[in-house]
Amino acid sequence: MGGYQYNWSIISDNIDVFIYGALKTLEISALALLFAIPIGIIVGMGRISRNKFIRLVASIYVEVMRGVPLLVLLIWIYFVLGQFIKLGAYWGSVLGLAVFTGAFIAEIVRAGIQGVATGQMEAARSAGMSHTQAMRHIILPQAFRRVLPPLASQFIMLIKDSSLISVISATELTLDAKNLVVNTFKPLEVWTFVAVVYFVMTFSLSLIIRYFEKRLLSREN
């Protein structure tokens, strides 16, 4: 871009905009994860249920969510579902991200439960526990330790996926950046700094995840 004039002071002059956008991104992502975890647990357990109908419903949900682009899902929730339920851009974004992420968490939960040795369930049943009691007291606690690292990594993916909610005008980092580009005509500076902000957020979370993984492993040893 031969005639492009760089002006990096745009960043310092609008640092409050970036900070606000980053905080909204983290807020929406955290809320979506809060709803996605119970969805994932329920669907993940449904995937290995002894009831064929429950397994079928859970499998359809997972396959549909994994096969539909998040962008399309967000648009459908906001413009179609929004005609019947007044969600608004904020809660429409939270719902879309939660429903989408829940499918991936379901697979993490399923793999975690199936990764526990089958002998654990047999031993629990032999001790007089019901299937539900064995799942709650024996299987799930062991599965939780297995799914914690990939679950935390899913949160990082969720933060990056949240950039798509700008398409339904939900206030977060990407939408604020788009508006700033329109006002300043400085796309390279703005989007470069946005990339830096996303990297800082996700890399910081990665370090936190590694710390807790080491703590978890040290306790097991």
Task: Supply the CATH classification number for the domain 9-220.
Answer: 1.10.3720.10
Length of the chain: 221
pLDDT range class, residue 219, cuts 50, 70, 90: low
Residue 82: predicted pLDDT: 84
Share of the chain above pLDDT 70, in %: 95
Tokens of 90: 């904020």
What is the Cα–Cα distance from 96 to 36, expressed in whole angstroms? 10
Question: Residues 70-124: pLDDT tens digits?
Answer: 999 999 999 999 888 888 999 999 999 999 999 999 999 998 888 776 777 777 7
| pLDDT tens, residue by residue, 149-176 | 788 889 999 999 999 999 998 989 999 9
Question: Cα-flanking dihedrals φ and ψ of residue 4, to 5°?
Answer: -75, 130
183-217 per-position pLDDT tens digit: 989 999 999 999 999 999 999 988 888 887 777 66
Confidence of residue 4 (pLDDT cuts 50, 70, 90): confident
Give residue 26's region: left, alpha or beta (phi > 0; psi -120 to 50). alpha
Q: What is the pLDDT of residue 217?
A: 65
On average, the pLDDT of the chain sits at: 88
Contact call for residues 55 and 47 (beta carbons, < 8 A): yes
* Tokens representing residue 34 in the block: 């809060």
The band of 138, judged by pLDDT with boundaries at 50, 70 and 90, is: confident
Range 26-52 average pLDDT:
94
Structural domain boundaries of the chain? 9-220
pLDDT for position 5 = 85
Say which amino acid occupies 204.
S
DSSP states along 102-170: HHHHHHHHHHHHHTS-HHHHHHHHHTT--HHHHIIIIIHHHHHHHHHHHHHHHHHHHHHHGGGGGGGT-
pTM of this prediction? 0.87
Q: In the prediction, which pLDDT does 85 show?
A: 87
pLDDT band at 2 (very low <50, low <70, confident <90, very high): low
Angle between the N-to-C axes of helices 52-67 and 15-47, in degrees from 0 to 180, rounded to the nearest 10: 150
